[in-house]
Amino acid sequence: MKFSIVIPAHNEEQRLPPVLDAYAQFFAHELGEEAEIILVANGCTDATAVVAKDIARNHSNIRVIDEPNRIGKGGAVILGAKAAVGDYIGFVDADGATSPEEFFRLYTIAAGKDGVIASRWMKGADVVIPQRAMRLLSSRTFNWITRILLGLKYKDTQCGAKIFKAEAWNAILPNIGTTRFAFDVDILYQLKRHNYTVAEEPTVWRDIEGSKVRFFNSSLDMFLAIVRMRLLYSPLKFTVRLYDQFLARIVEFLRRDSLFCHAMMLFMASMVANVCNVAFQMVVVRALSPVDYALLATFLSLFAIVSRPLGTLATATTHYTSLLLKEGRSGTVKRLVRKWMLIAGVPSILSAAVCILFARQIAALFDLERIAPVVVSAAALPALFLTPVVGGTLRGMQQFGWSAVASVAGAIGRVAIGAALVLLLFPACGWALVGHVGGAYINLLITMVVLLLLVVRFPADSKKLPSFRLYLFQCFFIQFGMALLMNGDVVFVKHFLPAETDFAKAATLGRMVVFLTASVTMAMFPKVSSSGEFTKEHRRIYLRGVAYTSFFLTGSFLFCVFFPRFLLGFLFRVLEPSPDLIAQTRWMAVVMGISVLLGINSSLLLAQRRFKAAAIVVVSALLYYGGVQLFHGNSFEIIAVAGGANMLGLVVTTWFILKQKTEDG
């Protein structure tokens, strides 16, 4: 037999029939009994194998292998190649991106060669329907990595049409170890190692809707697979064996957990943002006077306090976007986000204009010597109001990769703009705030562009928009209470103890634990959103969320507790911190740790509209405010009141969640 064609398929019940039928008819006509088609259905949860077998009854040149386990595209191709008997063995995607006529042309070119691969990037290639931007970016990034790490000079390693002679297959099959997205590269790298020469041929290719490759989900897999391949053929190959022996199963388990994967995307972004925040703090604390830095810390805390209840908009849009998409109402999402951008945007712009117009009077009201902080803060209002709407919608769509990109870009912009202004222009609180606000607008711009590109594809509909005013109203009080519990300490110390300017440093370090754990809460929220139902899956996601949060929390918490001198010296150049400052740093880390765990509990309760249980957050915040009015003789009294109030909320919400019975048994 001259030619064996392997078609791997996973859940292709809808797209497969016309493709398989066309290939069977065409190659029966061109090569007769000298060609066979091997359809490998792997781990399918639909009727792919049944459909393929029905078609095979009408075509003698089709064989169907039904592999029950999910072995990936590469595993399916390997299975098919081992069963093939042709002199040349090729594989092609089941989506029909490569037509049978084009695949036959590649076969004629392969004759007399070790193999040939199709290329969408060579001169002469005809890409009938251009790829979407994300697939293009993914393809080019991956190609760049393979060129650098593996020395493969092909322009396109990922096009799903490749043909090699059987001798080459037999030589490399025992060495192929990658069955996922880097499978094609593994084949080409093994062929290179065995001195086989493979031609690259421009192809006619049609982008097909419904690709299973997702840029942010697959990019890390691709990169790690290439690194693994490089290590296997280097003096460090022992590290791969150690990984396979001790970590592979754990990593595979976590990789299949969408909560962990999405949280890790956001976590890595928060790590970058945290580093940028540290850099921002290091720059401004060195450039600004103690009075200006204390003023900056106060404004940043005010931003945090204002942003937290405004996060109600993010909570509501995330909640309703998630529910609407689960109901198949994507068109309603488009109209919903448009409506709330107007509701949030217009008043914020008008408010900003009024604040700027009366900036001098506002500055005098707060005993500020300069109006710059007021003007800059006013300019931030549109970003503060719009970001929750567009960002919340993006998270409701579970586009966490783009949320991470926007967050990182904003954080980098913040430190770059802020550092440039306070170091090169003038070291003042107002210029530092410009950096902070500039970063916020960078974040907003990226999020808006991405959201526009996503929702423009949603179909139009005229269904009634859901009203979430009551949801917003209830969320507002709960999230304002959460904001006070998590951020009120700096404002209270500034108000009652203005001479304790060093407390701002301790509070900043204590909040390191918040930056590193917020990712889990954000990733969890749309996954547990419901109209009040609490299922076993919701409980499982919540418990994993608590476990992941505790894991992230532990490292930063222990660092603040055991190495406060190092952190104060490294970040703020406080080489001889006072015992009080060290103690403040440690206790603030404790309080923030409690507050973080309370935050994940309140997030679950809001996602499921359990407002009565979540009301304990408001009660705790009121007790916090009242307690500080009575006990504010020194900063430790304020810290103690904060810790007690947060602990009360944590204990009550945890008790309520754990006693809930799931509705599905």
What tens digit of pLDDT does each residue of 388-418 get? Answer: 999 999 999 999 888 999 999 999 999 999 9
Residue 245 lies in a domain: no
Is 21 or 211 the better-scoring residue by pLDDT?
21
| Single pTM value for the model | 0.67
Domain finish residue from 212, 244, 266: 212
Beta-bridge mates of residue 163? 90, 116
- In this structure, the answer to whether residues 564 and 432 fall within a common structural domain is no
- In this structure, the answer to whether residues 295 and 400 fall within a common structural domain is yes
36: closest CA among 94, 66, 81, 70?
81
Is 514 or 393 the better-scoring residue by pLDDT?
393
Confidence of residue 624 (pLDDT cuts 50, 70, 90): very high
Residue 221 lies in a domain: no
Place of tokens 């890390």: 220
Q: What is the pLDDT of residue 504?
A: 86
Q: How far is CA 638 from CA 124, 337, 617, 620, in A?
A: 71, 40, 18, 14
- In this structure, the answer to whether residues 462 and 474 fall within a common structural domain is no
Is 220 or 50 the better-scoring residue by pLDDT?
50
221: amino acid identity, one letter: D
Domain finish residue from 449, 467, 485: 467
**Tens digit of each residue's pLDDT (9 = 90 or more) over 422-454:** 999 889 888 999 999 999 999 999 999 999 988
Q: What is the pLDDT of residue 136?
A: 65
User: Would you give the DSSP letter of residue 57?
Assistant: T
104 touches 92 (CB < 8 A): no
**Tens digit of each residue's pLDDT (9 = 90 or more) over 546-564:** 999 998 888 888 888 889 8
Confidence of residue 181 (pLDDT cuts 50, 70, 90): low
Q: What is the pLDDT of residue 105?
A: 96
Q: Residue 141 belongs to a domain with what CATH number?
A: 3.90.550.10
Average pLDDT, the chain: 88
514: amino acid identity, one letter: V
Q: How far is CA 202 from CA 98, 116, 117, 125, 211, in A?
A: 12, 10, 9, 4, 21
403's tokens: 């949320």
481 touches 618 (CB < 8 A): yes
Beta-bridge mates of residue 204? 126
Is 156 or 646 the better-scoring residue by pLDDT?
646
| CA dihedral for 607, 613, 614, 615, sign (positive or negative) | positive
Query: 392 lies in which domain range?
Result: 257-467
Q: What is the pLDDT of residue 134?
A: 57
- In this structure, the answer to whether residues 488 and 529 fall within a common structural domain is yes
| CA dihedral for 539, 544, 545, 550, sign (positive or negative) | positive
- In this structure, the answer to whether residues 437 and 516 fall within a common structural domain is no
409: closest CA among 449, 377, 360, 363?
449
For the sheet containing 115-119, what is the strand order?
Answer: 62-67, 35-42, 3-9, 88-92, 161-165, 115-119, 199-202
Residue 439 lies in a domain: yes
| Calculated CA dihedral for residues 557, 408, 303, 647, nearest 10 degrees | -30
Cα–Cα distance for residue pair 354/342, rounded to 1 Å: 18
Residue 267 lies in a domain: yes
- Mean pLDDT calculated for residue range 457-464: 83
- In this structure, the answer to whether residues 287 and 345 fall within a common structural domain is yes
The answer to whether residue 162 scores a pLDDT higher than 70 is yes
317: closest CA among 328, 303, 307, 332?
332
Q: What is the pLDDT of residue 456?
A: 85
- In this structure, the answer to whether residues 424 and 498 fall within a common structural domain is no
Residue 394 lies in a domain: yes
DSSP structure string for 74-131: HHHHHHHHHH--SSEEEEE-TT-SS-HHHHHHHHHHHTTSSEEEEESSSTT-EESSPP
Domain finish residue from 417, 448, 467: 467
Please name the residues in contact with 207: beta carbons below 8 A apart, sequence gap of 6 or more: 97, 127, 128, 129, 130, 131, 132, 135
Please name the residues in contact with 234: beta carbons below 8 A apart, sequence gap of 6 or more: none
136: closest CA among 77, 225, 205, 61?
205
Cα–Cα distance for residue pair 125/133, rounded to 1 Å: 18
Q: What is the pLDDT of residue 479?
A: 85
439 touches 457 (CB < 8 A): no
Task: Tell me whether residue 499 is exposed, middle or buried, using C-beta atoms within 10 angstroms of its C-beta: 0 to 12, 13 to 18, 19 or more.
Answer: exposed
- In this structure, the answer to whether residues 434 and 480 fall within a common structural domain is no
**Tens digit of each residue's pLDDT (9 = 90 or more) over 130-143:** 555 556 666 677 77
Q: What is the pLDDT of residue 178?
A: 61
Q: What is the pLDDT of residue 309?
A: 67
- In this structure, the answer to whether residues 421 and 511 fall within a common structural domain is no
Q: What percent of the chain has pLDDT over 90?
A: 52
**Tens digit of each residue's pLDDT (9 = 90 or more) over 332-364:** 999 999 999 999 999 999 999 999 999 898 888
DSSP structure string for 440-461: HHHHHHHHHHHHHHHHTTSPP-
Residue 206 lies in a domain: yes
**Tens digit of each residue's pLDDT (9 = 90 or more) over 68-95:** 988 888 999 999 999 999 999 999 999 8
- In this structure, the answer to whether residues 274 and 396 fall within a common structural domain is yes
Count of other CB atoms within 10 angstroms of residue 236: 10
- In this structure, the answer to whether residues 545 and 456 fall within a common structural domain is no
Cα–Cα distance for residue pair 548/600, rounded to 1 Å: 11
Please name the residues in contact with 519: beta carbons below 8 A apart, sequence gap of 6 or more: 263, 264, 265, 266, 267, 269, 270, 552
Number of domains in the chain: 3
Rounded to 10°, the helix 330-357/290-326 angle is 160
Residue 237 lies in a domain: no
Count of other CB atoms within 10 angstroms of residue 661: 8
Place of tokens 């060669």: 113
Residue 243 lies in a domain: no
**Tens digit of each residue's pLDDT (9 = 90 or more) over 204-230:** 988 765 555 555 555 666 777 788 888
**Tens digit of each residue's pLDDT (9 = 90 or more) over 363-378:** 888 777 788 888 998 9
Q: What is the pLDDT of residue 212?
A: 52
Strand 88-92 and strand 115-119: pairing? unpaired
- In this structure, the answer to whether residues 348 and 444 fall within a common structural domain is yes
